Amino acid sequence: MDLQLKGKVAIITGGADGIGFCAAQLLAAEGAIVVLADIQEERATQASADLNATGAQSIAVGVDVHDEASVKHMVDTVVERFGKVDILVNNAGIGYFKTMDEETMDEWHKVLDINLTGVHLCTREVFKYMKAQNSGRIVSIASLGGQIGGMKVTPGYVASKAGVVGLTKSYARNGAKYGITANAVAPGPTETNMAKGRYSADTTMLGRLAEPMDVAKVILFLSSTLADYLTGVTVDVNGGALMR
Ligand X SMILES: NC(=O)c1ccc[n+]([C@@H]2O[C@H](COP(=O)([O-])OP(=O)(O)OC[C@H]3O[C@@H](n4cnc5c(N)ncnc54)[C@H](O)[C@@H]3O)[C@@H](O)[C@H]2O)c1
DSSP conformational letter for 210: B
Considering the candidates 157, 171, 178, 199, report the single residue annotated as catalytic.
Answer: 157
Main-chain dihedrals φ then ψ at residue 80, nearest 5 degrees: -60, -40
Phi-psi region of 193 (alpha: psi -120 to 50; beta: other; left: phi over 0): alpha
Based on CB atoms, which residue is closest to ligand X, 63 or 180? 63
Does residue number 78 form part of the binding site for ligand X (CB under 6 A)? Answer: no
Choosing from 5, 9, 23, 38, the residue that interacts with ligand X (CB under 6 A) is 38
Region from 26-34, 72-80, 183-191, 227-235 binding ligand X, contact rule CB under 6 A: 183-191
Region from 25-33, 35-43, 102-110, 173-181 binding ligand X, contact rule CB under 6 A: 35-43
Cα–Cα distance for residue pair 46/60, rounded to 1 Å: 8
In the complex, the smallest distance separating the C-beta of residue 7 from ligand X, rounded to whole angstroms, is 25
Does residue number 187 form part of the binding site for ligand X (CB under 6 A)? Answer: yes
Binders in 193-222 for ligand X, by CB under 6 A: 193-195, 212
Does residue number 223 form part of the binding site for ligand X (CB under 6 A)? Answer: no
Region from 36-44, 96-104, 218-226, 227-235 binding ligand X, contact rule CB under 6 A: 36-44
Name the amino acid, one letter, at 129. Answer: Y
CA 136, distance to chain mean position in Å, is 15
User: Residues of 66-80 as b/e, b for ≥16 C-beta within 10 angstroms?
Assistant: bbeebbeebbebbbe
| Per-residue contact flags (x/-) with ligand X for residues 110 to 149, judged by CB under 6 A | ----x--------------------------x-x------
Beta strands in 25-127 (DSSP E): 33-38, 57-62, 87-90
| Whole-number Cα distances in Å, 18 to 43, 109, 178, 194, 243 | 12, 23, 31, 8, 25
Cα–Cα distance for residue pair 140/119, rounded to 1 Å: 7
The radius of gyration of the chain from alpha carbons, rounded to an integer in Å, stands at 17
Does residue number 175 form part of the binding site for ligand X (CB under 6 A)? Answer: no
In the complex, the smallest distance separating the C-beta of residue 161 from ligand X, rounded to whole angstroms, is 7
In the complex, the smallest distance separating the C-beta of residue 18 from ligand X, rounded to whole angstroms, is 2
Strand, coil or helix: 129: helix
Catalytic site includes residue 178: no
Count residues near ligand X (CB under 6 A). 30
Region from 14-22, 50-58, 200-208, 221-229 binding ligand X, contact rule CB under 6 A: 14-22
How many other CB atoms are found less than 10 A from the CB of residue 83? 10
What is the binding site for ligand X (CB under 6 A)?
Answer: 13-14, 16-20, 38-40, 63-66, 91-95, 114, 141, 143, 187, 189-190, 192-195, 212
Q: Which residues are catalytic?
A: 157
